[in-house]
Amino acid sequence: MSEKTTASLPIVLGLLTAVGLFAIDMYLPSLPEIGNALNADDSAVQASLISFFVAMGLSQLIYGPVSDMIGRKKPLYFGLALFALAGVGCALAPSIEWLVAFRALQGVGACAGAVLCRAIVRDLLTGVAAAHLMSRLMLVFSVSPILAPLAGSLVTTVGSWRAIFWVMVLAAGLGIALVATLLPETRNAEARSQSSFKSAIVSYGTLLRDPHYLGLVFIASFGMSSYMIYVANSSFVLIDHYGLSPRLYSVVFSLNAVSFIGASQMNGRLSRRFGLKRLIRTAVTGFALASLTLFALFQLGLGSLPLMCALLFVAYGFLGMVIPTSAVLALDGHGKIAGTASALMGTLQFVTASSVIGIASIFADGTALPMVTTVTVCAMAVLVLATLTLRERLKPETTPKVISETP
């Protein structure tokens, strides 16, 4: 692999992973406007988010094994092209039902970047080196929650909410260009020849019987759910309940991404110094304590918007270390079926997040308390799972592979 390709790899993979986040975060400030334009209530508008999550999760079960069989690049091309076509459908949707349907199709396309970029990291690296690269990806795609809502609110100042989906179409075109020019094929011919749908079914069975893998996957899943519940509800809580403007909402929403970025920059360094197991234990504990403190203050009637923003900033900072580290540890022992293992991980993450959002929506009342409660429940689940899973001795961290002489 050339030095130029090595240097650009974190940026390319980060941007491809960010396509899905961009499709979520960019239209968040416009959710109330979409409801008004399409005569839909809050739960119907949230269905466009849930359909995206479910489709993005389930489709990974196909992308993973297929990428093990035919390589990583062809499924990436297909996913990005489908994402673009579905974006056109969303932009032209005449009703909330059509929007929900096209968002589901868009989720099928968006999941290609999420699942395949994790597999590419595992193709190239293991152990601490993989955690370091995953942290660099976090830096790139964590910018999405900062820029996407701001970009979405700016787009709607010069056009309607439909213009946001035309921007997504352009983003997909950029992704296709990056794959074509800067991303090499990382799944070699010998490895592809050993993969088939039959072997994928066997692999899924092996993974589902691996309690250590499942424990780490659900740590990441409930961690992601705690963030996605904020994504799904924050625009209604902050705009409708606290009275923020869409632009100010975008600024407040982006603060959590700043926390993610700071954590991601420390993650690689801390994992080299303290080891992955110790790092994830500490991060899980910090995440749980910050969430529990926030919940307790709201229950005591001391909750406020500044307090909620501050404690979520801390909580999601710790979460920024939990998710990439648990992903690396889960995939580390499954290099030969990295695509399949990454696919199952992604599916379980998004199905868990969709289920949590669906259950939480039953209790939503427009205030912050149901959202804060759900975040805390997810944090407690992460703490319990980490306690049970990390009791078992992790395999010694392997000497990392490198993709070039560049550190």
Structure tokens at 4: 């130029």
pLDDT of residue 404: 38
Render each residue's pLDDT in the chain as its tens digit; 407 residues: 555 556 677 778 878 887 877 888 788 788 888 999 999 888 888 889 889 988 888 888 888 888 888 888 999 999 999 999 999 999 999 999 999 999 999 999 998 887 788 788 878 877 777 777 776 776 665 666 667 777 888 888 888 899 999 999 999 999 999 999 888 888 888 778 777 888 888 888 999 999 999 999 999 999 989 988 887 888 888 888 898 887 788 788 878 777 877 776 677 778 778 888 889 999 999 999 999 999 999 999 888 999 999 999 999 989 988 988 898 888 887 877 777 887 888 889 878 988 898 888 888 888 899 999 999 999 999 999 999 998 754 444 444 444 433 33
Q: How far apart are CA 261 and CA 348, in angstroms?
A: 24
CB atoms within 10 A of CB 7: 12
Rounding to the nearest 10 degrees, give the CA dihedral for residues 356, 250, 45, 306. 50
Q: How far apart are CA 290 and CA 163, in angstroms?
A: 38
pLDDT of residue 324: 82
Show the domains of the chain with their CATH numbers. Answer: 3-181+195-389 (1.20.1250.20)
CA atoms within 13 A on the CB side of 236: 22
CB atoms within 10 A of CB 195: 21
Side chain identity at 122, as an amino acid letter? R
Question: pTM of the prediction?
Answer: 0.72
